[in-house]
Structure 1
Amino acid sequence: MQKLLLLIALCVFSLSVKAETIKVMLVTGGHSFDTLQFFQLFDEFDGIEYEHFAQPEANRQIALGKADEFDVLVFYDMWQNISLEERTAYLRLAQEGKPFLFLHHALVSYQAWPEFESIIGGKYVQEGKNVEKDMLSTYEHDVWVYCRIENYTPVTNGFRELRFFDEVYGNVQISDKVKPLLSTTHPNSMPYVAWENHFRNSTVLYIQPGHDKRTYVEKDYRKLLFQAIHYLAKK
């Protein structure tokens, strides 16, 4: 009888743990990155399972409804080609309240799709037709970035200051509707390097640090991403 009760208890525990697991659709493509260390970062997150999709297959699967199977969508891509069907799928997900987390160079995606800027809450502007030189965004590699907490939320909870040897983006368009989470005074950086945005019924987070393995291995960066995913999953 005791063995039976123990078996039942273990089954109940196993089911509860499985129910609490956060399922992440992890999207990459369009920009090189330290693949081994990046995936190790997600491999080591307790209670988070991910399935990786590279572009353009990722957008094809989103258009087919694959994203509905996941709790949070995480984008580490830098992609430009997106069909009308795929754009419609993104907007449908936002209408349904699917949470999005965009990382680093994902800010550069979809230069020719204006609504993407509204989704993510900003835009890194590249050269293009009718783009004036003073509008172009900039970048600088291998600099120390000191990040100050602008707003304490479940994403930034437990931090006082963060420091990364990373890449900064400058002259970036940032919506005045976003809620800043992290700021920096680096002279070549945009003022906010992480924010929360709301588009339709979705909560959207953007985190700019995360260029390479030197940041992936940082304890604070791992905690920041972990807390961001958990915060979004509750949304």
Structure 2
Amino acid sequence: MTQLSGFHRERIRSVLSASLLMPVITIKHPDDAIPLCQALFDGGVRVMEITLRTEHGLNAIKAVREALPKAWVGAGTVTSLAQYRQAETAGAQFIVTPGVTEAILEFSLTSEAPLLPGISTASELLLGYGLGYREFKFFPAEVAGGAPALKALGGPFPDATFCPTGGIRRETAREYLALTNVQTVGGSWLTPEEVVAQKDWAQITEIARGSLSDIT
């Protein structure tokens, strides 16, 4: 059986270790992509998960890759092989899914952009585990049991590392990062919808900087 390559694991580990926080970014207006991500970068965030929840996601990935060459820029909310291929073409440096299928897990084994597969149960984790995956997104974190669930998963899967996302707030990020099997935390609190709508990029930078200060 084909296993995940060392290159893919090294790339995902590099992404997860680059920043304690991974903003989940949904672009509603294409002109917002670069200034929003620049504001996050100025606040100390080095990893951007730009979701494909809107029609602007792929173009935003292309634009931010060019504008912020020192940042890690990935595609989130990838739910099909077609989207995976589109994200690769757009230049995504990594892929994040909300869940897993055998088809996506197997496709990623030879893809250009390595995968951070989303799981919420031990059974889902085992699908990836058997192919060599050891880094996972835990989603939706709060609904799926939060920090206690991740602590419990550390028993049978001591070498698995997680990026929990979903319902996490600035006030609760520290609780997750205190766990030995959590490398980074994802969340949308870093990009409040009303602040982005006002194009208050200085406030986005302050939120990012303050959130990092809270956990370091």
Q: Shorter-chain TM-score category?
A: 0.3 to 0.5
More helix by share: 2
TM-score by length of 1: 0.36
TM-score by length of 2: 0.38
More strand by share: 1
Bigger Rg over Cα: 1
Structure with more contact order per residue of length (Cα contacts < 8 Å, sep ≥ 6): 2
